[in-house]
Amino acid sequence: MAKLKIQKVCENCSKVFDAQRTTTRYCSHKCNSVHYKLKARDSKINKANADTIKVVNKPIEDIKTKEFLSVSQTAKLIGCSRQAIYKMINSGRLKASIIMVKKTIIKRSDIELMLEQAITEKQPRMYL
Among 13, 34, 78, 113, binds Zn ion (CB under 5 A): 13
Q: Which of 2, 8, 9, 10 binds Zn ion (CB under 5 A)?
A: 10
Q: Write out the binding residues for Zn ion, residues 21-40 only, by CB under 5 A.
A: 27, 31
Q: Candidates 12-20, 65-73, 87-95, 98-106: pick the segment binding Zn ion (CB under 5 A).
A: 12-20
What is the smallest separation between the CB atom of 31 and Zn ion, expressed in angstroms? Answer: 3
Total number of residues binding Zn ion (CB under 5 A)?
A: 6
Interface with Zn ion, residue 19, by CB under 5 A:
no
Q: Does 77 bind Zn ion (CB under 5 A)?
A: no
**Three-state secondary structure string covering the chain:** CCCCCEEEECCCCCCEEEECCCCCCCCCHHHHHHHHHHHHHHHHHHHHHHHHHHHHHHHHHHHHCCCEEEHHHHHHHHCCCHHHHHHHHHCCCCCCEEEECCEEEEEHHHHHHHHHHHHHCCCCCCCC
Binding residues (CB under 5 A) for Zn ion: these are 10, 12-13, 15, 27, 31
